[in-house]
Amino acid sequence: MSATPGRIRVIGGQWRNSRLEVPDLPGLRPTPERVRETLFNWLMPVISGARCLDLCAGTGALGIEALSRGAASVRFVERDARVAQALRGNLLRLKMPGGEVSTLDAAIYLQGAVQAFDLVFLDPPFALDLWGGLAERLEQGGWLAPRAWVYVESPRDGAPALPAGWALHREGAAGEVRYALYRRVES
């Protein structure tokens, strides 16, 4: 089942098949259902009780999917006020506990008070090429738990430069998108 314009659905967990309202804005690129299904199959053993960060959240589909599947909490960071408001609206309408939305640029958020996360979704707008800088801030700034998982979505034609301590666990491709799950390796 594919998303209709302006709507996507939660594909698993407690809120399975719930619809999410999505603003029709240029550059907003929800993670496809097939990719989310694969990712959360990979994460099934670790998602329950996880503290998550959905950095560059956009629609929030990844973080909402995590909450639906048992994550303890998700901090959504989205710089566009309209998109952040739609995300807040979806969380309220579905009565999803554990989700908090920050309307900030991801780099500015990572300059704030540090909290270590078990799982980070890193899916910035492709045109801005933010992977390396944000990944380095996550790694160096204390934002990752010692054995954290980091999901990275990027253009299919190449993997972004990421910290040396991030070991590739699994990866795949769908259309023009490369998706990969990394495990932070303690030094």
Whether 63 contacts 123, CB under 8 Å = no
Closest-CA residue to 62 (of 126, 143, 121): 121
pLDDT in tens, 28-76: 778 888 999 999 999 999 999 999 999 999 999 999 999 999 999 999 9
Model pTM score:
0.92
> Is position 1 within any domain?
no
> Is position 2 within any domain?
no
Give 170 or 161, the one with higher predicted confidence: 170
CA 66 to chain centre: 9
> Is position 34 within any domain?
yes
Length of the chain: 187
Average pLDDT value over all residues in the chain: 91
Report how many domains make up the chain: 1
Give the 3-state secondary structure of 144-172. EEEEEEEEEEEECCCCCCCCCCEEEEEEE
Give the pLDDT score at 2: 40
What CATH number did the domain enclosing 45 receive?
A: 3.40.50.150
pLDDT in tens, 126-157: 777 889 999 999 999 999 999 999 999 999 98
pLDDT in tens, 109-129: 999 999 999 999 999 887 778
Give the pLDDT score at 136: 95
